[in-house]
């Protein structure tokens, strides 16, 4: 019974052990689950030690009872131990625990003491193993944690980086289809990352849009496709993101990835946002190429463009025209209205130029108020002339700046490649010379380059140089022209007129040197000298005689003027009432506060103010009411020809007079030369007359002498302006660019003539006309039709005693043939 019980117990123990063993398999899993070491040891003992002990015990009992032969029992135990070892492979504790438990169970079955000993030894070994396991586990868990931390850190850093939008990552499969792309990029493309997956990588970029991209960008696109096909690494390829309506640039980098068997798996790489950098670059290049105020090309870019044309591979493509444009009176706007208004004006000028030129050429601003236009291709001169006059016309329309209406003018110089130069320096220098000639010709004009301009420019430069010393060398002098009251025929005053006695060139007209003085910044000095000198001379004249001094618009804009006037009056000791300042209309190009303040300051001093050259400038009758003028000077261009039938000048004079009377102002008719003109202006009611009919300008000495004989003035001169336009036929020689041409002169007036017999003369051409031996006049072509050209003389011709044009009345003059006089040449209007 004891043996039967023992067998039963053995079977039970073995069965339980089997159940536990199955459970032990779970230990492996539990082990992985990462429990604490002590907990694990407990589990190992319970799940491995106990069943193994059971197996050992049961089998030992079966063997002892003779149920199983010991040899077989041993074999079973060995295989159980082996299975346990396999199951527990790699797990030291489990292994040890299983082996110790099983063998100590056998020992137990044979001798309880030996078994106990085995358990103790096993326990000791187990404790050592436990300690060891503890260390191993600790080290392992630390390693795992560290690895996990590292992985986390890398992930977080990447995620942060992706989130900033500066950089992003991508991966493709072997066909180049997207496997992964950063969410930020998907968002930029207004897609989800999932939508992008499976699409070609190149879909992220704008590749088809080659026209818009520069050459380098489309190149980058091609390179990308190439790398993807060739499976080669690339870095920092610049591509444009495929985002409609937004410009975004990326630099992308990528490398092919291979698996362990060296099979190509696809590409992996990153992208970085370049937009800001690119914008900065563009901004820098804009700054380098464009004028920041007007947005036009700058000087550098213009000369680059010109150079490009001039070195074109085919000679035919090297033709072009360069137009230099300079604004007239811009400085006045800038000085009186302020720089912001000046800037505003430049912008509007730029717009008009661009609109005018369109795609036919390139417009640039060279700086200040200087503009340039390059027109590529061969354009005939008449066409260029038309373009130039178009530009002048468009720029001369009024501008609105901060509510004020402003008028300026423009002068244009034209040089043509290859005729006038084949290098950009030569072309620009020659266009500049032409521009100078245009300005010299009276502004608001255009001029083609001609070789003889070189000497003109040299002459002008020299004049400017000489003018700097003219004052110091006592070459400037004031002449005085009497102003006569119409009703009493008595001299009421004199107008002071500058004269320059040049040591070489002799006498130079103020019409010529005053603009030079204004441009060279000499007018303030010269103007102040004139004021002081006039006051000093005035101090020696009778008290009822006045002096009128011309004041340039530049002087008028200078706040120091009232101080200078006061000082000039005080040092000469004359009554302010006796000084009259002549101001031209050009000061009214704007109606700002500075003007009003200046008028008030001058009126406070007590000087008289006269409006000079009325009707030649920006006639706005509005300002006449506001400005405190004592006198209006009617320009001689209205007086001239007023006596001729059909002329409207008389009507104009009449209306100016009635306006002046209404405003309680005097009127002076300027430049009255004939008795007929005198009768007319008297009839029209002008209160004063100034002109050769009474007296030419006199030197200070002659003026004093004239005064000593009393104030009564007597009109002396021709009755009629009979020879205002003389119809004559005269053979002359024209000289231009070192060549001479024969031609006929018909219809000559004081200001111009009709020349017959020459063809194809571009407007603006300047030549010298040899009218007679030793008699040469400089003239500018204004129009050309068939073989006839209209020319304008650079200076009006003198009249002789009989009222004929002096230069045209040599001793042996042929009788004038009767010719149709359909052509009129308008008298030039002087501008300040």
From the CB of 674, what's the least distance to ligand C2E, in Å? 9
The answer to whether the CB of 691 falls within 8 A of the CB of 680 is: no
Q: Which does 421 bind (CB under 5 to 8 A by kind): Ca ion, ligand C2E, none?
A: none
Q: Which does 691 bind (CB under 5 to 8 A by kind): Ca ion, ligand C2E, none?
A: ligand C2E
The set of residues, in sequence order, having a beta carbon less than 8 Å from that of 777 and lying 6+ positions away, is: 768, 769, 771, 793, 794, 795, 797, 807
Closer by beta carbon to ligand C2E, 510 or else 606: 510
Which range, of 244-252, 362-370, 504-512, 601-609, touches ligand C2E by CB under 6 A?
504-512
Closer by beta carbon to Ca ion, 582 or else 585: 582
One symbol per residue from 687 to 706: x for binding ligand C2E (CB under 6 A), - otherwise; what is it?
Answer: ---xxx----x---------
> How are beta strands 476-485 and 698-699 bridged, if at all?
antiparallel
Question: In the structure encoding, which two tokens stand for residue 164, read together?
Answer: 């900033």
Which range, of 137-145, 217-225, 328-336, 496-504, touches ligand C2E by CB under 6 A?
496-504
Torsion angles phi and psi, residue 541, rounded to 5: -95, 165
Q: How many helices (H) and strands (E) does the chain have?
A: 26, 29
Closer by beta carbon to Ca ion, 236 or else 511: 511
> How are beta strands 506-508 and 490-502 bridged, if at all?
antiparallel
Binds ligand C2E by CB under 6 A, chosen from 641, 671, 790, 803 = 671
Closer by beta carbon to Ca ion, 43 or else 632: 632
One symbol per residue from 517 to 536: x for binding ligand C2E (CB under 6 A), - otherwise; what is it?
Answer: ----------x--x------
Binds Ca ion by CB under 5 A, chosen from 486, 550, 558, 616 = 550
Give me the residue whose beta carbon is nearest to Ca ion. Answer: 582
Q: How far is CA 383 from CA 43, 79, 141, 374, in A?
A: 107, 114, 91, 14
Q: Which does 765 bind (CB under 5 to 8 A by kind): Ca ion, ligand C2E, none?
A: none
From the CB of 636, what's the least distance to ligand C2E, in Å? 6
- The answer to the question of residue 613 lying near Ca ion (CB under 5 A) is yes
Measure the CA–CA gap between 640 and 832, rounded to whole angstroms: 19
Closer by beta carbon to Ca ion, 21 or else 649: 649
- The answer to the question of residue 510 lying near ligand C2E (CB under 6 A) is yes
Measure the CA–CA gap between 447 and 455, rounded to whole angstroms: 15
Which range, of 36-44, 182-190, 384-392, 582-590, touches Ca ion by CB under 5 A?
582-590
Q: Which does 346 bind (CB under 5 to 8 A by kind): Ca ion, ligand C2E, none?
A: none
For the chain, report the end-to-end CA distance as a whole number of angstroms: 149
- The answer to the question of residue 497 lying near ligand C2E (CB under 6 A) is yes
- Secondary structure of residue 777 in the 3-state scheme: strand
Question: In the structure encoding, which two tokens stand for residue 510, read together?
Answer: 């103020």
Which range, of 412-420, 548-556, 692-700, 783-791, touches Ca ion by CB under 5 A?
548-556
Question: Helix 675-683 crosses helix 649-662 at what angle (to 10 degrees)?
Answer: 40
Binds ligand C2E by CB under 6 A, chosen from 202, 550, 590, 749 = 550
Show contacts with Ca ion in window 201-240 (CB under 5 A): none
- The answer to the question of residue 580 lying near Ca ion (CB under 5 A) is no
Which range, of 170-178, 322-330, 404-412, 665-673, touches ligand C2E by CB under 6 A?
665-673
Closer by beta carbon to ligand C2E, 237 or else 653: 653
Closer by beta carbon to ligand C2E, 270 or else 552: 552
The set of residues, in sequence order, having a beta carbon less than 8 Å from that of 405 and lying 6+ positions away, is: 398, 399, 590, 620
Question: In the structure encoding, which two tokens stand for residue 431, read together?
Answer: 């266009």
Torsion angles phi and psi, residue 654, rounded to 5: -60, -40
Closer by beta carbon to Ca ion, 118 or else 589: 589
Question: Helix 275-289 crosses helix 299-310 at what angle (to 10 degrees)?
Answer: 80
Measure the CA–CA gap between 744 and 733, rounded to whole angstroms: 8
Torsion 305-308-310-313 (CA) sign: negative
Alpha helices in 263-380 (DSSP H): 275-289, 299-310, 330-337, 339-357
Q: Which does 552 bind (CB under 5 to 8 A by kind): Ca ion, ligand C2E, none?
A: ligand C2E
Q: Which does 497 bind (CB under 5 to 8 A by kind): Ca ion, ligand C2E, none?
A: ligand C2E
Torsion 192-197-202-207 (CA) sign: negative
Closer by beta carbon to ligand C2E, 80 or else 548: 548
Q: How many CA atoms lie within 13 A of 601 on its CB side?
A: 17
Closer by beta carbon to ligand C2E, 466 or else 518: 518
From the CB of 797, what's the least distance to ligand C2E, in Å? 10
Binds ligand C2E by CB under 6 A, chosen from 481, 486, 533, 586 = 481
Show contacts with ligand C2E in window 210-249 (CB under 6 A): none
Binds ligand C2E by CB under 6 A, chosen from 509, 699, 821, 824 = 509
Binds ligand C2E by CB under 6 A, chosen from 511, 661, 705, 826 = 511
Binds ligand C2E by CB under 6 A, chosen from 101, 189, 498, 748 = 498
One symbol per residue from 299 to 328: x for binding ligand C2E (CB under 6 A), - otherwise; what is it?
Answer: ------------------------------
Measure the CA–CA gap between 399 and 692, rounded to whole angstroms: 39
Q: Which does 206 bind (CB under 5 to 8 A by kind): Ca ion, ligand C2E, none?
A: none
Closer by beta carbon to Ca ion, 217 or else 582: 582
From the CB of 497, what's the least distance to ligand C2E, in Å? 4
Which range, of 192-200, 363-371, 442-450, 667-675, touches Ca ion by CB under 5 A?
667-675
Measure the CA–CA gap between 479 and 698, rounded to whole angstroms: 5
Measure the CA–CA gap between 305 and 725, rounded to whole angstroms: 49
- The answer to the question of residue 828 lying near ligand C2E (CB under 6 A) is no
Instruction: Say how far residue 242 (Cα) sits from the centre of its chain.
Output: 30
Closer by beta carbon to ligand C2E, 508 or else 766: 508
Query: SS in 3 state form for 621-672?
Result: HHHHHHCCCCEEEECHHHHCCCCCCCCCHHHHHHHHHHHHHHCCCEEEEECC
Torsion angles phi and psi, residue 442, rounded to 5: 120, 10
Binds Ca ion by CB under 5 A, chosen from 612, 666, 676, 695 = 612
* Residues contacting Ca ion: total by CB under 5 A: 5
Q: Which does 673 bind (CB under 5 to 8 A by kind): Ca ion, ligand C2E, none?
A: ligand C2E
From the CB of 690, what's the least distance to ligand C2E, in Å? 6
The answer to whether the CB of 362 falls within 8 A of the CB of 379 is: no
* Residues contacting ligand C2E: total by CB under 6 A: 23
Alpha helices in 183-246 (DSSP H): 183-188, 193-196, 215-230
Measure the CA–CA gap between 169 and 158, rounded to whole angstroms: 9
Torsion angles phi and psi, residue 695, rounded to 5: -165, 145
Closer by beta carbon to Ca ion, 334 or else 616: 616
Show contacts with ligand C2E in window 600-659 (CB under 6 A): 612-613
Closer by beta carbon to ligand C2E, 132 or else 696: 696
The residue among 223, 255, 226, 227 whose CA lies nearest residue 238 is 223
Measure the CA–CA gap between 428 and 446, rounded to whole angstroms: 15
Binding residues (CB under 5 A) for Ca ion: these are 550, 582, 612-613, 670
Binding residues (CB under 6 A) for ligand C2E: these are 481, 496-498, 509-511, 514, 527, 530, 550, 552, 582, 612-613, 670-673, 690-692, 697
């Amino acid at each position: 019974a004891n043996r039967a019980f023992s067998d039963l117990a053995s079977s039970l123990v073995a069965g339980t052990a089997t159940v536990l063993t199955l459970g032990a398999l779970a230990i492996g899993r539990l082990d992985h689950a990462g429990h604490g070491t002590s907990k694990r040891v407990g589990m190992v003992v319970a799940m491995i030690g106990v069943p193994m002990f059971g197996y050992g015990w049961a089998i030992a009992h079966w063997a002892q009872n003779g149920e199983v032969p010991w040899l077989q029992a041993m074999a079973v135990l060995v295989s159980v131990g082996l299975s346990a070892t396999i199951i527990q492979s790699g797990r030291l504790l489990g292994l040890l625990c299983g082996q110790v438990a099983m063998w100590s169970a056998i020992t137990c079955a044979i001798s309880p003491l030996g078994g106990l000993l085995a358990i103790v030894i096993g326990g000791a070994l187990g404790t050592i193993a436990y300690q060891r396991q503890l260390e191993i586990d600790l080290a392992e868990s630390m390693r795992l944690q560290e690895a996990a931390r590292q992985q986390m850190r890398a992930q977080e850093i990447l995620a942060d980086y992706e989130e900033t939008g500066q950089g992003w990552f991508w991966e493709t499969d072997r066909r180049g289809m997207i496997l992964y792309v950063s969410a930020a990029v998907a968002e930029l493309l207004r897609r989800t990352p999932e939508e992008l997956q499976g699409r070609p990588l190149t879909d992220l970029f704008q590749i088809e849009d080659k026209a818009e991209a520069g050459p380098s960008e489309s190149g980058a696109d091609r390179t990308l496709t190439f790398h993807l096909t060739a499976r080669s690494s690339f870095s920092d390829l610049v591509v444009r993101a495929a985002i409609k309506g937004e410009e975004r640039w990326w630099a992308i980098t990528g490398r092919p990835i291979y698996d362990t068997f060296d099979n190509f798996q696809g590409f992996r790489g990153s992208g970085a946002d370049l937009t800001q950098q690119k914008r900065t670059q563009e901004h820098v290049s804009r700054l380098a190429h464009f004028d920041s105020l007007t947005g036009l090309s700058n000087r550098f870019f213009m000369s680059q463009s010109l150079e490009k044309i001039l070195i074109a591979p085919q000679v035919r493509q090297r033709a072009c025209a360069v137009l230099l444009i300079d604004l007239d009176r811009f400085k006045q706007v800038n000085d009186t209205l302020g720089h912001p208004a000046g800037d505003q004006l430049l912008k509007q000028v730029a717009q008009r130029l661009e609109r005018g030129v369109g795609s036919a050429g390139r417009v640039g601003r060279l700086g200040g108020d200087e503009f340039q236009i390059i027109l590529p291709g061969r354009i005939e001169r008449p066409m260029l002339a038309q373009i130039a006059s178009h530009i002048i016309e468009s720029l001369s329309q009024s501008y609105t700046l901060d509510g004020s209406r402003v008028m300026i003018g423009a002068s244009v110089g034209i040089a043509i490649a290859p005729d006038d130069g084949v290098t950009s320096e030569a072309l620009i220098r020659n266009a500049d010379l032409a521009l100078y000639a245009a300005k010299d010709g009276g502004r608001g004009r255009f001029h083609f380059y001609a070789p003889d301009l070189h000497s003109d420019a040299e002459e002008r430069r020299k004049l400017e140089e000489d003018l700097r010393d003219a004052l110091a060398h006592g070459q400037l002098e004031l002449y005085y022209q009497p102003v006569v009251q119409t009703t009493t025929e008595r001299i009421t005053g004199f107008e002071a007129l500058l004269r320059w006695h040049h040591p070489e060139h002799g006498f130079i007209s103020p019409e010529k040197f005053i603009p030079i003085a204004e441009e060279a910044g000499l007018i303030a000095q010269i103007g102040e000298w004139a004021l002081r000198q006039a006051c000093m001379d005035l101090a020696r004249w009778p008290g009822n005689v006045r002096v009128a001094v011309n004041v340039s618009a530049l002087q008028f804009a200078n706040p120091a003027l009232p101080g200078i006037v006061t000082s000039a009056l005080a040092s000469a000791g004359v009554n302010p009432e006796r000084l009259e300042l002549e101001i031209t209309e050009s000061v009214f190009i704007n109606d700002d506060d500075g003007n009003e303040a200046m008028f008030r300051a001058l009126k406070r001093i007590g000087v008289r103010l006269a409006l000079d050259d009325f009707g030649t400038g920006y006639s706005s009758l509005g300002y006449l009411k506001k400005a405190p003028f004592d006198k209006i000077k009617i320009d001689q261009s209205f007086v001239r020809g007023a006596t001729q039938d059909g002329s409207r000048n008389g009507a104009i004079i009449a209306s100016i007079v009635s306006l002046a009377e209404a405003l309680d102002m005097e009127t002076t008719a300027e430049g009255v030369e004939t008795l007929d003109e005198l009768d007319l202006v008297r009839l029209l009611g002008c209160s004063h007359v100034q002109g050769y009919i009474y007296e030419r300008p006199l030197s200070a000495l002659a003026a004093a002498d004239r005064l000593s004989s009393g104030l009564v003035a007597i009109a002396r001169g021709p009755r009629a302006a009979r020879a205002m336009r003389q119809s004559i036929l005269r053979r002359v020689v024209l000289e231009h660019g070192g060549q001479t041409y024969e031609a006929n002169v018909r219809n000559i007036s004081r200001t111009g003539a009709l020349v017959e017999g020459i063809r194809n003369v571009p407007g603006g051409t300047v030549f010298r006309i040899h009218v007679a031996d030793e008699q040469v006049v400089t003239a500018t072509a204004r129009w050309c039709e068939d073989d006839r050209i209209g020319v304008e003389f650079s200076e009006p011709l003198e009249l002789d005693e009989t009222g004929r044009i002096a230069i045209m009345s040599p001793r042996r003059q042929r009788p004038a043939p009767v010719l149709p006089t359909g052509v009129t040449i308008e008298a030039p209007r002087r501008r300040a």
